[in-house]
Amino acid sequence: MTSTSRPLIGLTATTCPHPKSGAPLEALNRRYIEAIYDAGGIPVLIPTNLPHEAAAALLTRLDGLLLTGGGDIDPAQYGGQAHEAVHEILPARDAMELTLTKIAVAEGIPFLGVCRGLQVVNVALGGTLYEDIPSQYRRPLKHSRNAVTERTLLTHTVKIAKNSRVRRLLGAEEIEVNSLHHQGIRALAEGLEAVAWSSDGLIEAVELPDHPFGIAVQWHPEWLYREHPIHQALFCGLVGAAAAHKGT
């Protein structure tokens, strides 16, 4: 695939302080960038502090959207409750990603959500979250692993619905995944379909029927796809759908 034919994929960034000066930075883990490029796309970072009109205008020039992982969504966005385990709330990022998701859904722009991205999709469409799985979910697995030392650790299986797009992409009924989250879907948004679950019943993947490509997963395939190529199918699926969208 030539550089000019590669579709443009917008990747949502986050804000963090510079390690020395403390100046605010727009940042993104390089693994997302590499995953999109390796799948055939050109990654374009979307900063958190763009005005809504500018973010919407940018999205119309892109061919696909990747909603990346990160800190927690403010519970106020889904009628939730304050919880001591909720951390790293960034109101500007919440607002930007929720806006972009609604536009991508309405305009048929291909999108993939990863971890926080799955939660953003659910909240954007009217669903709710567990503010903290360990303290609120009955008999949970250990979903919140060490993000420094266990990013590539396969910690549990995920069972995938037979007739789902995720199943067709991955070509497997069950897969092994990593797990780096303490929040998850409580009430599924109307219009979304749950298509994968961990053994404790927590939703691990959703998709939007009748959308060109609307998928989100609770695990982090960007940390797995090199050693476990089955996970690259998610990024290839997004880029392929974005290429088709580019041609319309």
Condensed to tens digits (0 to 9), the pLDDT of residues 37-58 reads 999 999 999 999 888 899 889 9
Catalytic residue (one of 97, 131, 204, 222) = 222
- 100's enclosing H/E stretch is helix 91-107
Q: What is the pLDDT of residue 140?
A: 66
Residue 185, beta-bridge partner list: 129
Burial class (CB in 10 A: 0-12, 13-18, 19+), 141: middle
Instruction: Indicate the average pLDDT of the chain.
Output: 92
Token pair of 223 as six digits: 């940390």
Q: Domain 8-246 falls in which CATH fold?
A: Rossmann fold (3.40.50)
Measure the CA angle with vertex 69, ends 229 and 213; round to 5°: 65
Q: How far apart are CA 64 and CA 84, in angstroms?
A: 35
Distant-in-sequence, close-in-space partners of 185: CB < 8 Å, separation ≥ 6: 118, 119, 122, 127, 128, 129, 130, 194, 202, 203, 206
Catalytic residue (one of 115, 131, 182, 204) = 115
Average pLDDT over residues 75-91: 87
Contact 178, 152 (CB under 8 A): yes
Q: Is the pLDDT of residue 133 over 90?
A: no
Sort strands 129-130 and 42-46 into parallel, antiparallel or unpaired: unpaired
Q: How far apart are CA 200 and CA 217, in angstroms?
A: 16
198, 238, 188: which is closest to 218 by C-alpha? 198
Per-residue pLDDT band at 85 (split at 50, 70, 90) = confident
Task: Say what percent of the chain tops pLDDT 70.
Answer: 94
47, 7, 10: which is closest to 32 by C-alpha? 10
132, 124, 105: which is closest to 202 by C-alpha? 132
Q: Is 16 a catalytic residue?
A: no
Q: How far apart are CA 48 and CA 43, in angstroms?
A: 16
Token pair of 61 as six digits: 């020039």
Q: Is 115 a catalytic residue?
A: yes
Per-residue pLDDT band at 1 (split at 50, 70, 90) = low
Average pLDDT over residues 213-239: 97
Q: Is 236 a catalytic residue?
A: no
Catalytic residue (one of 143, 182, 220, 245) = 220
